[in-house]
Amino acid sequence: MTRITHLLSTAAAWCLGLLWILPLLYAFWAALHPGEYATRFELLAPLTMDNFRTAWQQAPFMRYMLNTLIITGLILLFQLILCTLAGYALARMAFRGRGLVFALVLLQLMVMPEILIVENYQTLSGLKLVDTHLGVALPYMASAFGIFLLRQTFLTVPQELEDAARLEGCSRLGILWKVYVPLAKPTYLAYGLVSVSHHWNNFLWPLVVTNTADSRPLTVGMAIFGAPESGVQWPIICAGTLIAVGPLLALFLVFQRQFVQSFMHAGLK
């Protein structure tokens, strides 16, 4: 009985796995074969690298990749700093108006910058930051989600640890850095993953605020590159997609074990 359930469950897991990896498999198929096989599957279809060559010539992928890295890094760096400071103040410092500030932060949790693209665009064009990395990053630098998460985590740090550190003559920032930050590592990891994944994939806001290849991230570059205005060219688009995610994919394959394990050991909550 349990054996049958186990078998069924394994089969289900594999079916789902197949469905989940299907887009990636198809990307490889379409990219590696000539155009006429893009929608036909024949085992003996000839292989070609032409699609990669064409895609590579048609868009500055390295530039887009660099832009994405800069933007994502910029956002994550500022988010971590700003949210740590604010989270700590809200968790461990008594000051007038704390309740109000926390309520404001909570309210912002659901009001993400995407919703306010129209107004934020006007703000940025007023600051002359349209089409810059900073312009793409600015609206995301303070994150209520991060503040909230870190506050909750900091609240669980025993007060005695802080008191002990203070007796040793640690400054406030020193305590934050030496006591709180290390203890909140799992939260940082979880939050970092959410943030990086979000901005690696983010499209709408960068679409609005970037104009040229100087600041355009991969997502917007891919959209312009693949826009089906006169007809979709799957082989070229798939080749472009693979070029774009190739580095990440390779990293994951090589470091798959370490990645998952470090995540596991961190004991995410």
Partner 1 sequence: MLNRRNTRLALGLTTLLASAAQAQTALTLYYPVSVGGPLTQVVDGMIADFERQNPEIDVNAIYAGNYNDARVKALAALQSGQPAQLSVMFSIDVHELRDLDAIVPFDEVVETAAERQWLQSFYPALMENGAVDGTTWGIPFQRSTIVMYYNKEAFREAGLDPEQPPKSWDELAEMGQKLVKKDADGQVERWGAMIPSTGYPYWMFGALAKQNGAVLMNSAGNETYFNQPEMVEALSYWRDLSRKYHVMPEGTIEWGTLRQNFLEQKTAIMWHSTGNLTAVKNNAKFDFGVAMLPAHKNFGSPTGGGNFYLFKKASPEERKAALQLVQFMTSPEQAAKWSIATGYMGVSPAAYDTAALKQYVQSFPPAAVARDQLKYATAELATHQSGRVRKLLDDAIQAVLNGQAEPQAALDTAQKQAQRILSRY
Partner 2 sequence: MNRLNQLYAWLMLLPALLMLLAFTYLPTVTTLWHSVFYPARGSQPAQFAGLDNYRMLIDDPVFWQALSNNLWYALGTVPLSIALALAMALWVNGRIGGRTALRLAYFTPTMLPMIAVANIWLFFYTPEIGLFNRLLECVGLPGINWLGDPDWALPSLMLMTVWKEAGFFMIFYLAALQALSRDLYQAAALEGASALYTFRRLTLPLLMPTTLFVLVNAVLNAFKLVDHLFILTKGGPNNASNLLLYYIYENAFSFFDSSYAATLTVILLALLVTLALLQFRLIERRIHYR
Beta carbon nearer to partner 2, 50 or 266: 266
Largest CA distance in the chain: 74
Q: Whole-number minimum distance, CB 224 to partner 1, in Å?
A: 5
Site for partner 1 in 8-37 (CB under 8 A): 35-36
Beta carbon nearer to partner 1, 184 or 209: 209
Helix, strand, coil in percent for the chain, rounding step 5: 75, 0, 25
Backbone angles phi, psi at 94, to 5 degrees: -95, 120
Site track 2-31 with partner 2 (rule: CB under 8 A), x = hit? x------xx--xx-xxxxxxxxx-xx--x-
Site for partner 1 in 51-70 (CB under 8 A): 57-60
Q: From start to end of the chain, where are the E strands? A: none
Site for partner 1 in 224-243 (CB under 8 A): 224-225, 227-232, 234
d(CA 211, CA 220): 10
Binder to partner 2 among 66, 70, 85, 161 (CB under 8 A)?
85
Residue in 250, 194, 238 with CA at minimum distance from that of residue 22: 238
User: Which residues are CB-neighbours of 110 under 8 A, at least 6 positions away?
Assistant: none
The partner in contact with residue 4, picked from partner 1, partner 2, none with C-beta cut-offs of 5 to 8 angstroms by kind, is none
Q: How many other C-beta atoms can be found within 10 angstroms of the C-beta atom of residue 184?
A: 21
Q: How many helices (H) and strands (E) does the chain have?
A: 14, 0
Site for partner 2 in 192-231 (CB under 8 A): 193-194, 197, 200-201, 203-204, 208, 218-220, 222-223, 226, 228
Q: Whole-number minimum distance, CB 31 to partner 1, in Å?
A: 16
Judged by the rule CB under 8 A, the positions of this chain that interact with partner 1 are 35-36, 38-40, 57-60, 121, 125-126, 128, 130, 207-208, 211-213, 221, 223-225, 227-232, 234
